[in-house]
Structure 1
Amino acid sequence: MAHEAVQLRHVTRRYGTGGGAVTALDEVSLDFQHGTFTAIMGPSGSGKSTLLQCAAGLDRPTSGSVAVGGTELTGLSETRLTLLRRRQIGFVFQAFNLLPSLTAGQNVALPLRLAGRRPAPARIREVLERVGLGERMRHRPAELSGGQQQRVALARALITRPQVLFGDEPTGALDSQTSREVLTLLRDMVRDEGRTTVMVTHDPVAASYADRVVFLVDGRVDGELCAASAQEIAAQMAQLEDVTC
């Protein structure tokens, strides 16, 4: 198996045409290795979410290539791309996106049902226990706190045993204590299960849980830090924001 779970090579993403075109990503090349936790940071409009969407196969680059688990995404049909995302990729967003009429267990099982698979109750309980909610399987979202709902969303992302977990501001809607609990879960999954995780965040504290922080400015990679403290990350962000002002 290659060391890289995700590879981006010279990825450019433009929106619009002619004089009004906007370049969100500009010749970005990055590797995300198996069993690592990477945070993506940058000033507003730097291309963070676009990078995540292209890396996860949610958006197609204008040029360049993206590979997940050794599979090149660029030439895949929409059907094959959807199947790859269901089997190999998990997503956690700032909005929990739980269906209010379904229980926690039913929400977790949804990706498997959409893929035409019958989820085993033991597997559903297993992933809910992994996020500390084994006893909340029959509770609906309205009966859960925000942090618990995000844990259900995390369990839902893990039910298919994805190779890569992508998070777009996954703790952005949580208070600081609950945010720390969710980030610790993500950190532990990388350490204990070798789960490759890539997370966009604006929060230096959240980014400090990652092995590596990659900074974007104007759609280009502008440095990185490894095993950095929240203070070091905040200082780097302040420098980048000064430059872009």
Structure 2
Amino acid sequence: MKPNAVELRAVSRRYGTGDGGVPALDHVSLAFPTGTFTAVMGPSGSGKSTLLQCAAGLDRPTSGSVTVGGTELTRLSETKLTRLRRERIGFVFQAFNLLPSLTAEQNVALPLRLAGRRVPRARIREVLQQVGLGDRAKHRPTELSGGQQQRVALARALVTRPEVLFGDEPTGALDSRTGREVLALLRGMVDDDGRTIIMVTHDPVAASYADRVVFLVDGRVGGELTGASADVIATRLTDLTGLTGLTGLEAVPC
């Protein structure tokens, strides 16, 4: 049995205080085994992004615990938490967040430079080659397509050899063909390299690339599917979305 790369135990996150407080997560317990690809889905306002932020150490839960690779994040100081994120966690977002004045290889090297670490040129070229951009190292973002820019962002996330890669709608800004190429790349990183990926998405096609799809409803786990097709995932999501009109989920942060 594979060890867990990330574990959430009874995690709650509440925004605001008193009667005006809004619960985004409500006692969520989840485990993400090492070397697996998990998609997190749910209706708007179900707590998807809050879950990702708490799991990745970008936000602290109001209660409960989060563990990454055996390290409990909720016990760490801000300095140690920042170091852990830099060294052990990778992030890919819908926005590519590349610096326009830097080349692809300079953008990829940025996390190492910010951490005050040596930047081995061979490692930069290695991750660019891994995402299919070995011949684009000297190109700036304006000289790259949207899909290529997202590949640079992915290489930047991988350069520190993170234990877990978190994606927040990583294909949301891409056309369907380019999105599928990026998703196939992510799938290969799990199958070939044993990478652990946790991805928030609204797209059933994107979620179908994952081993498991976890659904959130009203800040709670609302079930999961394993090895499901895009059609099956879409049907389950439609059913859950129908419930939101009854529960007032639209008032909860996503």
- Normalised TM-score (structure 2): 0.96
Q: Distance in 2 between matches of 1:174 and 1:218?
A: 28
Shift of 1:244: 1.4
Code of the residue aligned with 2:166 in structure 1: it is F
- Unpaired runs of 5+ residues, structure 2, are 246-254
- Residue 12 of structure 1 is matched in structure 2 by 12
Code of the residue aligned with 1:6 in structure 2: it is V
Code of the residue aligned with 1:59 in structure 2: it is D
Q: Distance in 2 between matches of 1:175 and 1:104?
A: 21
Code of the residue aligned with 1:127 in structure 2: it is V
Q: Distance in 2 between matches of 1:200 and 1:46?
A: 11
Which residues in structure 2 correspond to 1:77-116 (within 5 Å)? 77-116=77-116
**Does the CA contact (< 8 Å) of 1:2 and 1:70 recur in 2?**
no
Q: Distance in 2 between matches of 1:144 and 1:43?
A: 33
- Residue 71 of structure 2 is matched in structure 1 by 71
Q: Distance in 2 between matches of 1:120 and 1:164?
A: 22
- Residue 244 of structure 1 is matched in structure 2 by 244
**Does the CA contact (< 8 Å) of 1:103 and 1:140 recur in 2?**
yes
Shift of 1:2: 6.8
**Structure 1: 4+ residue segments shifted above 3 A:** none
Shift of 1:75: 1.1
- Residue 53 of structure 2 is matched in structure 1 by 53
Percent identity over the alignment is 78
Q: Distance in 1 between matches of 2:178 and 2:184?
A: 10
- Unpaired runs of 5+ residues, structure 1, are none
Q: Distance in 1 between matches of 2:75 and 2:243?
A: 37
Code of the residue aligned with 2:79 in structure 1: it is T
Shift of 1:19: 1.1
- Normalised TM-score (structure 1): 0.99
RMSD: 0.9
- Residue 166 of structure 1 is matched in structure 2 by 166
- Residue 176 of structure 1 is matched in structure 2 by 176
- What whole-Å deviation, never above 9, does each CA across 1:185-210 have from its counterpart, x for those lacking one? 00000000000000000000000000
**Does the CA contact (< 8 Å) of 1:98 and 1:153 recur in 2?**
yes
**Does the CA contact (< 8 Å) of 1:49 and 1:200 recur in 2?**
yes
* Further displaced range: 168-177 or 115-124: 115-124
Q: Distance in 2 between matches of 1:238 and 1:141?
A: 37
- What whole-Å deviation, never above 9, does each CA across 1:128-158 have from its counterpart, x for those lacking one? 0000000000000000000000000000000
- Residue 154 of structure 1 is matched in structure 2 by 154
- What whole-Å deviation, never above 9, does each CA across 1:13-46 have from its counterpart, x for those lacking one? 0000111100000000000000000000000000
**How many equivalent pairs are there?**
245
